Structure 1
Amino acid sequence: MPLKGPRKLSGVPIELSEQSRFRVNRIDSVALGMHRDDKGLGSLPEDEVLDTTNGHANLAFDSGDEDDESRDALPPMPVTNSRRPSLQYQYTLAGSGTVYGGNLVQQTREALPRLDNYRDLASIAAGHRPTLDELRENAKFEKAVEQGEAQEEAQSGAVKFGWIQGVLVRCLLNIWGVMLFLRLSWVVAQAGIIEACVVVLLSATVTTLTALSMSAISTNGLVKGGGIYFMISRSLGPEFGAAVGLVFSMANAVGVALHTVGFAESMNDMLRSMDVKIIDNSTNDIRIVGTIAVTILLAICIIGMEWESKAQVGLLVILLFAIVDFLIGGFLGPLDDTEMAKGFVGLNATLFVNNLKPDFRVVDGKMHNFFSVFSIFFPSATGILAGANISGDLKDPSSNIPKGTLLAILLTTLSYLAFVVIAGAAVVRDASGNVMEIAGWQFANCTGRHCDWGLHNSFQVMELVSVFGPLIYAGCFAATLSSALACLVSAPKVFQALCKDKLYPYIEWFGKGYGKGGEAYRAYVLTFVIGVCFILIGDLNAIAPLISNFYLASYTLVNFCTFHASLTKPIGWRPTFKYYNTWLSLLATIICVSIMFLISWVTALITFIAVITLYLIVMYRKPDVNWGSTTQAQTYSAAMGQLQKLDSQQEHVKNYRPQILVFCGRPSARPTLVEYANLITKNLALLICGNIEKVSKIVRI
């Protein structure tokens, strides 16, 4: 908005020119000089003119006609600033050159027009102040590209889940797996109520400490697709991350077989009870049913994540009804003599006391102990990473993962403890199933004969205790299929992220994504093939210990990663999740390694050899990635610590080593000089090649 009224220069009115808004007419120098003399500013020369050369106003003064030609020969010399326009006057005295006076802005009461005065206020408010990286490396363009990619990802229409549907539901379904319905009663028979509770609590301790460490890592920054692989590779480095990513993908692929075999085994038992068989009601039937089941699961995954998530919710509802069915049946007691003859006598204090202590027996030629039982049960607690493995499909991974995972561990642990107590207090360890032996509890005396029922001999105890048996079968099917489905989704997601980083050769082909969600169909097929290979084994107890070692190896690296980051304290380690501890992470690391070797030192040794081999492959290939790992921070901290030790110690003549600074310019230009200096240091002392380059003056913004 133009200002009204006369302009003034040092109190003297200035008339605006009709030709330009930035040009004024000639000033009365006498009046201006008198005015300046009154204020002690001195007099100005005559013929004062405002020049607008090059769009800038410069005040020129004429000192006489005799110098007009010399003055006119001088080029205009405006003194300006890009952010704050200023005016400086120039005048010429006889026998002298051009002399510059004070800044005109200091001599006037009115600021000259500035570009900022005509800018839109919204653009000023939304202005972005450049960072150091943007000033040094021109990273503004890269930042715009990243923002564009994030915007494209948000607009791509990919399905995103919250903490309930994306984490809690998946973790519950993956934890409540095959062992809940088929092996938990057997664990109570072998270990007794007390040690069975210890098995559950020890498993919960490992998973809880690991979940705390995982929550710290997941809240330390942006978590993209890849789950545990992404977390470890961006924290410990590509070597550790690639090793655990491949091992964990393999563990999930084998987990598909574990849960599918559990489903097939439960289906086989149901068919046997109805006198129906496919081939032999044994291993061959398990193989056939398992292969068909995993094929259907693969089709569900290929349809899309949205359908897979809806299937998970439906399976969870069925599973919850089955759990409630078991709890009600345990409190109601046996409904007829047949159930009692099979070992279900209802809640009984005497039976509870008898089942407190362990009763380890030989099964399939192997004498079991606490850790062998633990190795079979532990896979039922390993579903804590089901939500983290699809971190790329979560709305807010840093908030969703801790909340959903920890709540899932709490709920499943309480349910396992309740199942252990009810099964130990309501079902005998051995039962004949003969109704005629109910009197005097003769059905529970199996000395010298083989019994087919009871905690030791039957894997269908939950169906026996429940009010409505078919609902338990439905719950078992839901638990096994949901866990298999979660593993079938997790393994390709982790493997796809590993393939995209190109850390291992010949696997990039499997990382190609399809559709708006970037589904790794090729990785799905690979997981399907691995799962079918292990399904053909058909032995649940043979698969479980191997998976336990793989999962424990993954948990070991997760806890060690958190411990290492907390110990080295790199500048980038600032997790928003505060409920973790450095030494608890170290304790969890030690516990995981110890359990691995206590379960089976041979399997643990093979697992560690596999991890070390995968680590060395990545270290040898030296991938061109820099993710700011904690190993780099540890190297820096160690170097600083050693330098500080050297500084505090007095140098001895025997330890003297020359430290040479060679001003050789570019080392390639004077190799002889560098080689001469190297003859003195012999690669045992410090040699610095210096080069001085003249650079243009840096302009500050």
Structure 2
Amino acid sequence: MTLQSPHPSTLDTQDEAIGLGTFGGVFTPSILTILGVIMYLRFGWVVGQVGLYPTMAIVTIATSITFLTALSISAIATDQVVRAGGAYYMISRSLGIETGGAVGIPLYFAQALSVALYTIGFAESVKNVFPNVSIVVVALITTVLVTALALASADIAIKAQYVIMAAIALSLVALFFGHDVTVDPSDAVEAAKIERVGFWAVFAVFFPAVTGIMSGVNMSGDLKDPIRSIPRGTLAAVIVGYIIYMAIPFVLVSRTPTASNALLNPEMMVMKRIAIGGHLLIDSIVLGVWGATLSSAIGSILGAPRILQALARDNILPRSLRWLGKGNGPTDDPRLGTLFTLGIVLAVVMMGSLDAIAPVLSMFFLTTYMVLNIAAGLEGFLQSPSFRPTFKVHWSLSVLGAIGCIAVMFLINPVATIAALVIVGLIYFWLERRQIESTWGDVRQGIWMTVVRTALLNIDDNADPKNWRPHLLVLSGAPSKRWYLIEMARALTHNRGLITVASIIPSGSRSIAQQEKAEVVLREFLDKRGVQAFAKIVTADDPFIGTKQLLETYGMGPLIPNTVLLGDSDDPDIESIERYCNTIRVCHGAKRNVVIYRDESGADAPDSLHPPMYADQADQRIDVWWGGLQSNGGLMLILAYLLRTSWQWRSAEIRLKLVVSDEEALEAAEVNLENLTNSLRIGAKPEVILANNRPFEEILRTSSASADLVFLGLAVPHEGGYQAYYQTLQDRVVGLPATVMVLASENLDFSELLQKDVS
């Protein structure tokens, strides 16, 4: 089933969003997610494990990856109007709807489940202050209150984040103006019990602290000017976060005596012990922890429904969930999506701990970063005329960011990385099978254009026999009438060559536009039947002239059809046979091999259960009538071998048949043919037939009557008499099984392809 995705302009019900600015809509949610619980609960442990300067290196490396990703986001955001959906919208419009959906669906669940992760974290911190409360009850109440803020409006939720940001800022001030940690004799004993880990293990723990730039990007649909706000707000948040993270280690080292080893124990809350007022029941550091968890929860509950809304509007979600794309009010708030997300979050909160899935959630965020970097890198590398960002970033920086993301993913958790990539891959192939059509272009066509251009320029004009592949021009007419030709072409190429199905229609019967549309219809007809082929339709006064036009004009550079596949002429009219023979002569003169497939079974419909190319016998047989390795013989054996590599003919036996006139030549012919078949290594079985004064027609009919397919050579077209020769050949093969008549015309020695020097 093919689904049509709406035009981008329909993704939002209005052109102007709620009007959030850079500071409130991008910077605030991003910086609050960056300055999270890891900063409060694990940063001291990081410093204690590796020391001051390695900590600064960890912060710099981690922030560099985030910064490179922010640059890629800025480039994409300033090239296109970023509507609701944030990262999903950017990826789908750059790398295609399948890639966007493959990343967008896991990203939605990561954002949704993050709400539960943060509210449970908040509840645990509340329990540390008030031991008698229930974590689940506090988490459930917090989840509902946070969702209520999001339902009220994004504007109110953002304003609530201002209060939270004030609490975090107060905690940082209290930390920077704090006092030295009082040495406790028990500190050294407790620290000695803590396992010491290496640099990259510490890096893996710290890296999630610098993620969070998606919080602002996810609000793209609610920004007044996303093209302006996303780059400025995102980069500013990364830079401010870096400055704070580089300053805190100096405070921790200077305020904590080395002998105490207090930094190594996360349970000691060293930042609480340094900060002013740290002795209070609820101090600034506790408020900061609460603010960090609540702000991250608010950012996630704002972002997840907007991703879901965009997925529904692009027909990514199943039909039963399309209602999630509906927006409410003049601001197009995704209220239904928010309630749907609330249901998921409440169910997860009731389950309790999220330790098992938290690593996979981090992988989904990093996968999004990686794909965004790839999208920006490809756009910049391909230099597509449509990619004109006002914020220019060299493609190598985006590629470096993508490499950094995948490296960090494996450093953090290899198993979770593989799990995330497998899930993304499965969703991609699911969406590809659904064949969702989009009305916007993406970078994939540019990628293929670059690959094709490079390949064409590197293909040698002088063909090498050892690298020969069949490039078939199939003159099938209406494919439904001669479907066996298409089956023959598919069996011969078997993913090793190219097929062009061509049809010649009368001049004036179609306009150019109608002709192009007919080619599209023909291509779709072939695709639905699993045939990978190009389609070409030309107009001409008669088929002979049309074939000549195709041979003269079709192709590009060295990539032109080398073999013409056509059906046998079934018109007894003398003029028709003459035109048919002229077609063979023109193909030969153009150095194109000729393969004529004659089938008398009549099973030519594309939907027939047993077309000729699908022989049902357990032991199939292909007879190749041998006239020598040179000329037609080499090409016939190559084609027979290619047929046997297809699944239709995988069990076929190739019999190489040679007729000798007398017994004196029989023994020598048997030895020579046996040696030849052994050297060719294609599994052919030699068979020498004694004529005994019998005409070849009789030998042919008798010997090949039980074959499934027969190969015969064609004489080189010559002036005068070729028409009579071909009519004689037609009479000769009447009553035979399906027959392939071959004329080798290329300037190639096909024996070189068969007889390889392996010394």
Provide, for residues 361-384 of structure 1, a one-character-per-residue CA deviation record: whole Å limited to 9, x for no partner.
757xxx744334333322221111
Q: Does 1:601 align with 2:414?
A: yes
Q: Is the deviation greater in 470-479 or in 484-493?
A: 470-479
- 1:615 Cα deviation from its structure 2 partner: 0.9
Provide, for residues 142-182 of structure 1, a one-character-per-residue CA deviation record: whole Å limited to 9, x for no partner.
xxx999x7997247xx5121111111111111111121222
| Conserved? CA contact 2:30–2:215, under 8 Å | yes
Change (3 A) 1:194 1:632: same
| SS of aligned partner of 2:130 | helix
- 1:231 Cα deviation from its structure 2 partner: 0.5
Change (3 A) 1:650 1:417: same
Structure 2 stretches lacking a partner, 5+ long: 1-6, 514-759
> Taking structure 2 as the reference length, what is the TM-score of the superposition?
0.59
Distance 1:619 1:568 in 2: 24
Change (3 A) 1:152 1:246: closer
- 1:408 Cα deviation from its structure 2 partner: 0.7
Provide, for residues 557-589 of structure 1, a one-character-per-residue CA deviation record: whole Å limited to 9, x for no partner.
1111122222333332222211x2222222221
Distance 1:294 1:574 in 2: 42
| Conserved? CA contact 1:264–1:289, under 8 Å | yes
| Conserved? CA contact 2:123–2:136, under 8 Å | yes
Q: Does 1:468 align with 2:310?
A: no
After TM superposition, the structure 1 = structure 2 runs for residues 397-546 of structure 1, keeping only pairs within 5 Å, are 397-428=226-257, 444=260, 455-469=264-278, 470-505=283-318, 506-536=320-350, 544-546=358-360
| SS of aligned partner of 2:267 | coil
| Higher relative contact order (CA closer than 8 Å, sequence separation 6+) | 1
Partner of 2:383: 569
Provide, for residues 404-433 of structure 1, a one-character-per-residue CA deviation record: whole Å limited to 9, x for no partner.
111110111110121122112212478xxx
Partner of 1:153: 14
Residue 228 (structure 1) aligned to one of 87, 92, 100: 87
Partner of 2:136: 287
Distance 1:151 1:212 in 2: 26
| SS of aligned partner of 1:688 | strand
| Conserved? CA contact 2:476–2:486, under 8 Å | no
Change (3 A) 1:488 1:656: closer
| Conserved? CA contact 2:476–2:485, under 8 Å | no
Partner of 1:241: 100
Q: Does 1:256 align with 2:98?
A: no
Paired letter, 2:199? F
Q: Is the deviation greater in 674-683 or in 494-503?
A: 674-683
Paired letter, 2:359? P
Partner of 1:632: 445
Provide, for residues 341-392 of structure 1, a one-character-per-residue CA deviation record: whole Å limited to 9, x for no partner.
45999xxxxxxxx9xxxx99757xxx74433433332222111111111111
Distance 1:653 1:482 in 2: 65
Q: Does 1:322 align with 2:171?
A: yes
- 1:497 Cα deviation from its structure 2 partner: 0.6
Distance 2:422 2:136 in 1: 31
Distance 1:344 1:162 in 2: 50
- 1:662 Cα deviation from its structure 2 partner: 5.7
Change (3 A) 1:558 1:457: closer
Residue 220 (structure 2) aligned to one of 372, 376, 391: 391
Distance 1:633 1:454 in 2: 52
Distance 2:486 2:129 in 1: 83
Distance 2:271 2:466 in 1: 80
Partner of 2:148: 299
Distance 2:323 2:192 in 1: 49
Distance 2:110 2:512 in 1: 58
Partner of 1:80: none
| Conserved? CA contact 2:14–2:332, under 8 Å | no
Distance 1:293 1:328 in 2: 32
After TM superposition, the structure 1 = structure 2 runs for residues 90-129 of structure 1, keeping only pairs within 5 Å, are none
Distance 1:205 1:642 in 2: 36
Computing the radius of gyration over CA atoms, which structure comes out larger, 1 or 2? 1
Q: Does 1:195 align with 2:54?
A: yes
Change (3 A) 1:259 1:371: farther
Partner of 1:434: none
Distance 1:589 1:489 in 2: 26
| SS of aligned partner of 1:395 | coil
Change (3 A) 1:166 1:344: farther
Distance 2:54 2:466 in 1: 65
| SS of aligned partner of 1:265 | helix
| Conserved? CA contact 2:32–2:296, under 8 Å | yes
Change (3 A) 1:185 1:574: same
| SS of aligned partner of 1:153 | coil
Structure 1 stretches lacking a partner, 5+ long: 1-144, 279-284, 346-353, 431-443, 446-452
Q: Does 1:340 align with 2:182?
A: yes
The count of aligned residue pairs is 495
Provide, for residues 9-66 of structure 1, a one-character-per-residue CA deviation record: whole Å limited to 9, x for no partner.
xxxxxxxxxxxxxxxxxxxxxxxxxxxxxxxxxxxxxxxxxxxxxxxxxxxxxxxxxx
- 1:693 Cα deviation from its structure 2 partner: 3.4
| SS of aligned partner of 1:299 | helix
- 1:676 Cα deviation from its structure 2 partner: 6.5
| SS of aligned partner of 1:686 | strand
Change (3 A) 1:626 1:537: same
Distance 1:631 1:146 in 2: 18
Q: Is the deviation greater in 536-545 or in 607-616?
A: 536-545
| SS of aligned partner of 1:636 | helix
Distance 1:542 1:679 in 2: 54
| Conserved? CA contact 1:319–1:479, under 8 Å | yes
Distance 1:468 1:261 in 2: 26
Q: Does 1:207 align with 2:66?
A: yes
| Conserved? CA contact 1:662–1:674, under 8 Å | no
Paired letter, 1:208? F
Paired letter, 1:319? I
Q: Is the deviation greater in 521-530 or in 416-425?
A: 521-530
Distance 1:630 1:298 in 2: 37
Paired letter, 1:614? I
Distance 1:183 1:636 in 2: 48
| Conserved? CA contact 1:429–1:456, under 8 Å | no
Partner of 1:693: 508
Identity of aligned residues (%): 31
Change (3 A) 1:547 1:647: same
| Conserved? CA contact 1:170–1:387, under 8 Å | yes
| Conserved? CA contact 2:472–2:489, under 8 Å | no
Distance 1:540 1:372 in 2: 21
> Taking structure 1 as the reference length, what is the TM-score of the superposition?
0.64
Partner of 1:586: 399
| SS of aligned partner of 1:689 | strand
Change (3 A) 1:562 1:146: closer
Provide, for residues 533-567 of structure 1, a one-character-per-residue CA deviation record: whole Å limited to 9, x for no partner.
54456558666533332221111111111222223
Partner of 2:157: 308
| SS of aligned partner of 1:468 | coil
Provide, for residues 568-624 of structure 1, a one-character-per-residue CA deviation record: whole Å limited to 9, x for no partner.
33332222211x222222222122112211222111111111111111111111112
Q: What RMSD in Å do the two structures reach over aligned CA positions?
A: 3.5
Distance 1:549 1:150 in 2: 28
Partner of 1:377: 206
Change (3 A) 1:392 1:458: same
